[in-house]
Structure 1
Amino acid sequence: MASAATHASFLPPVLTFLSAAVIGVPIVRLLGQSAVLGYLVAGVVIGPAGLSLIAEPETAASVAEIGVVLLLFIVGLELEISRLVSMRRDIFGLGTAQLALCSLALAGAGLAFGLTPAAATVVGIALALSATAVALQLLEERGDLGSAYGGRSFAVLLLQDISVVAILALLPLLASAGATPKDGWLDEGLRSTARAAAAVAGVVVVGRYGLNPFFRLLAAAGGREVMTAAALLVVLGTAMVMEKAGLSMAMGAFLAGVMLAESNFRHQLEADIEPFRGMLLGLFFMSVGMSIDGGLLANHWVALIAATLAAIAVKVVLVAGLFRLFGSPWLDAVRGAAVLAPAGEFAFVILPAAADLRILEGDVPRFCVALAALTMLVGPIIAKGLDAAFARRSGEAVPPTDVGDVAESGETRVLVVGFGRFGQILAQVLLAEGISITVIDKDVGQIRAATSFGFRIYYGDGTRLDVLRASGLAKADLICICIDDAEAALKIVDIVHEEFADVRTYVRAYDRTHAIELMNRDVDFQLRETVESALGFGRATLEGLGLSAEAAARRVEDVRKRDVARLVLQQAGAMPDGSGWMRGAPEVRPEPLTAPTRPSRALSAETRGLIETKRHEAATRVLEPEDSERDA
Structure 2
Amino acid sequence: MADASHTSYLPPILIFCAGAVIAVPLFRRLGQSAVLGYLAAGIAIGPSVLALVNDPDAIRGTAEIGVVLLLFLVGLELQPSRLYSMRKDILGAGLAQMALSATAIGLVGWKFGLSVGGAIAVGLALALSATSIALQVLEERGDGSETYGRRTFSILLFQDISIAPALALLPLLATTGAQNHSGAPALAGLGLALLAVALLVLVGRYLLNPFFRILASTGAKDVMTAAALLIVLGAAMLMERVGLSMAMGAFLAGVLLADSHFRHELEADIEPFRGVLLGLFFMAVGMSLDLQLVFDNALLLALAAPLLVAFKIVVAATILRVSCSSSTEAIRAGALLSPAGEFAFVLLPLGAALGLLNTQQAALATSLAALSMLIGPVAAKLIDLWLSRRAGPAETMEEDFEGAGGSVMVIGFGRFGQVVTQALLLQHIPVTIIDSNVERIRSASKFGFRIYYGDGTRLDVLRAAGAGKAKIICICIDNREAALRIVEMARAEFPSARLHVRAYDRVHAIELMKADVDFQMRETFESALGFGRVTLESLGLSYDEASLVIDSVRDRDAQRMEIQYHEGIAAGIQKVPRVSPEPLVQPKAKSKALTEETREVIEDGGAEVAVGGVGEPER
TM-score above 0.5: yes
Q: Deviations over 1:371-409 (max 9, x none)?
A: 11111111111122222333344545699xx9x9xx992
- Hey, what does 2:24 align to over in structure 1? 25
* Aligned mate of 1:409, from 446, 457, 462: 457
In structure 1, give the amino acid aligned to 2:298. W
* Residue pairs, 1:25-44, within 5 angstroms: 25-44=24-43
- Hey, what does 2:185 align to over in structure 1? 188
Deviation, structure 1 residue 41: 0.4
- Hey, what does 1:87 align to over in structure 2? 86
Instruction: Determine helix, strand or coil for the equivalent of 1:50.
Output: coil
In structure 2, give the amino acid aligned to 1:150. G
Deviation, structure 1 residue 179: 0.8
Deviation, structure 1 residue 279: 2.6
Deviation, structure 1 residue 338: 1.2
- Hey, what does 2:237 align to over in structure 1? 240
- Hey, what does 2:210 align to over in structure 1? 213
Deviation, structure 1 residue 57: 3.5
Instruction: Determine helix, strand or coil for the equivalent of 1:136.
Output: helix
Deviation, structure 1 residue 293: 0.9
Does the Cα contact within 8 Å between 2:70 and 2:277 map onto a contact in 1?
no
Note closer, same or farther for the CA distance 1:365–1:413 as it changes in structure 2 (3 Å cut).
closer
In structure 1, give the amino acid aligned to 2:82. R
Note closer, same or farther for the CA distance 1:27–1:192 as it changes in structure 2 (3 Å cut).
same
Does the Cα contact within 8 Å between 1:95 and 1:157 map onto a contact in 2?
yes
Deviation, structure 1 residue 418: 9.1
CA distance in 1, matches of 2:386, 2:274: 35
* Residue pairs, 1:131-530, within 5 angstroms: 131-182=130-181, 185-396=182-393, 409=457, 426=472, 437=487, 438-439=489-490, 454-455=514-515
In structure 2, give the amino acid aligned to 1:250. A
Does the Cα contact within 8 Å between 2:172 and 2:186 map onto a contact in 1?
no
Does the Cα contact within 8 Å between 1:57 and 1:290 map onto a contact in 2?
no
Q: Does 1:2 align with 2:2?
A: yes
Q: Deviations over 1:461-507 (max 9, x none)?
A: xxxxxxxxxxxxxxxxxxxxxxxxxxxxxxxxxxxxxxxxxxxxxxx
Identity %: 51
- Hey, what does 1:122 align to over in structure 2? 121
Deviation, structure 1 residue 206: 0.7
CA distance in 2, matches of 1:411, 1:39: 27
In structure 1, give the amino acid aligned to 2:168. A
Deviation, structure 1 residue 81: 1.6
In structure 2, give the amino acid aligned to 1:109. V
CA distance in 2, matches of 1:186, 1:296: 36
Deviation, structure 1 residue 47: 0.7
CA distance in 2, matches of 1:266, 1:88: 22
Does the Cα contact within 8 Å between 1:48 and 1:294 map onto a contact in 2?
no
CA distance in 1, matches of 2:44, 2:271: 26
- Hey, what does 2:401 align to over in structure 1? none
Note closer, same or farther for the CA distance 1:453–1:313 as it changes in structure 2 (3 Å cut).
closer
CA distance in 1, matches of 2:173, 2:55: 30
Unaligned runs of 5+ in 2: 397-413, 415-435, 437-454, 498-511, 518-619
Note closer, same or farther for the CA distance 1:107–1:226 as it changes in structure 2 (3 Å cut).
same
Instruction: Determine helix, strand or coil for the equivalent of 2:490.
Output: strand
Q: Deviations over 1:146-194 (max 9, x none)?
A: 2222221111111111111221121111211211143xx4543343233
Note closer, same or farther for the CA distance 1:187–1:143 as it changes in structure 2 (3 Å cut).
closer
Deviation, structure 1 residue 353: 1.4
CA distance in 1, matches of 2:94, 2:187: 32
CA distance in 2, matches of 1:408, 1:75: 20
CA distance in 2, matches of 1:276, 1:254: 17
CA distance in 2, matches of 1:340, 1:428: 36
CA distance in 2, matches of 1:445, 1:246: 47
In structure 1, give the amino acid aligned to 2:457. S
Instruction: Determine helix, strand or coil for the equivalent of 2:338.
Output: coil
Q: Does 1:11 align with 2:59?
A: no
- Hey, what does 1:97 align to over in structure 2? 96
In structure 2, give the amino acid aligned to 1:10. Y
Q: Does 1:76 align with 2:136?
A: no
Cα RMSD between the aligned structures?
Answer: 3.3
Does the Cα contact within 8 Å between 1:83 and 1:408 map onto a contact in 2?
no
CA distance in 2, matches of 1:360, 1:2: 42
Instruction: Determine helix, strand or coil for the equivalent of 1:386.
Output: helix
In structure 2, give the amino acid aligned to 1:314. F
- Hey, what does 1:66 align to over in structure 2? 65
In structure 1, give the amino acid aligned to 2:15. T
CA distance in 1, matches of 2:287, 2:462: 45
- Highest Rg: 1 or 2? 1
Note closer, same or farther for the CA distance 1:409–1:18 as it changes in structure 2 (3 Å cut).
same
Does the Cα contact within 8 Å between 2:262 and 2:492 map onto a contact in 1?
no
Instruction: Determine helix, strand or coil for the equivalent of 1:295.
Output: helix
TM-score by length of 2: 0.65
In structure 1, give the amino acid aligned to 2:284. S
Deviation, structure 1 residue 412: 13
- Hey, what does 2:613 align to over in structure 1? none
CA distance in 1, matches of 2:516, 2:20: 37
**Structure with larger RCO (C-alpha < 8 A, sep 6+):** 1
Instruction: Determine helix, strand or coil for the equivalent of 1:363.
Output: helix
Note closer, same or farther for the CA distance 1:428–1:111 as it changes in structure 2 (3 Å cut).
closer
CA distance in 1, matches of 2:285, 2:462: 41
Deviation, structure 1 residue 232: 0.4
Note closer, same or farther for the CA distance 1:398–1:59 as it changes in structure 2 (3 Å cut).
same
CA distance in 2, matches of 1:268, 1:411: 10
CA distance in 2, matches of 1:92, 1:84: 10
In structure 1, give the amino acid aligned to 2:364. F
- Hey, what does 2:429 align to over in structure 1? none
CA distance in 1, matches of 2:270, 2:204: 17
CA distance in 2, matches of 1:170, 1:429: 45
CA distance in 1, matches of 2:70, 2:204: 18
Return 304-313 or 330-339, whichever deviates more: 330-339
Note closer, same or farther for the CA distance 1:112–1:194 as it changes in structure 2 (3 Å cut).
closer
Does the Cα contact within 8 Å between 1:165 and 1:250 map onto a contact in 2?
no
Q: Deviations over 1:389-437 (max 9, x none)?
A: 33344545699xx9x9xx9928999789899xx98x858999xxx9863
In structure 1, give the amino acid aligned to 2:283. M
Deviation, structure 1 residue 58: 2.8
Instruction: Determine helix, strand or coil for the equivalent of 1:260.
Output: helix
Note closer, same or farther for the CA distance 1:132–1:189 as it changes in structure 2 (3 Å cut).
closer
Does the Cα contact within 8 Å between 1:196 and 1:246 map onto a contact in 2?
yes
In structure 1, give the amino acid aligned to 2:106. A
Deviation, structure 1 residue 142: 3.0
Does the Cα contact within 8 Å between 1:417 and 1:441 map onto a contact in 2?
no
CA distance in 2, matches of 1:137, 1:332: 17
Deviation, structure 1 residue 296: 0.6
Q: Deviations over 1:533-591 (max 9, x none)?
A: xxxxxxxxxxxxxxxxxxxxxxxxxxxxxxxxxxxxxxxxxxxxxxxxxxxxxxxxxxx
Across the two proteins, how many residue pairs are aligned to each other?
439
Unaligned runs of 5+ in 1: 447-451, 458-632
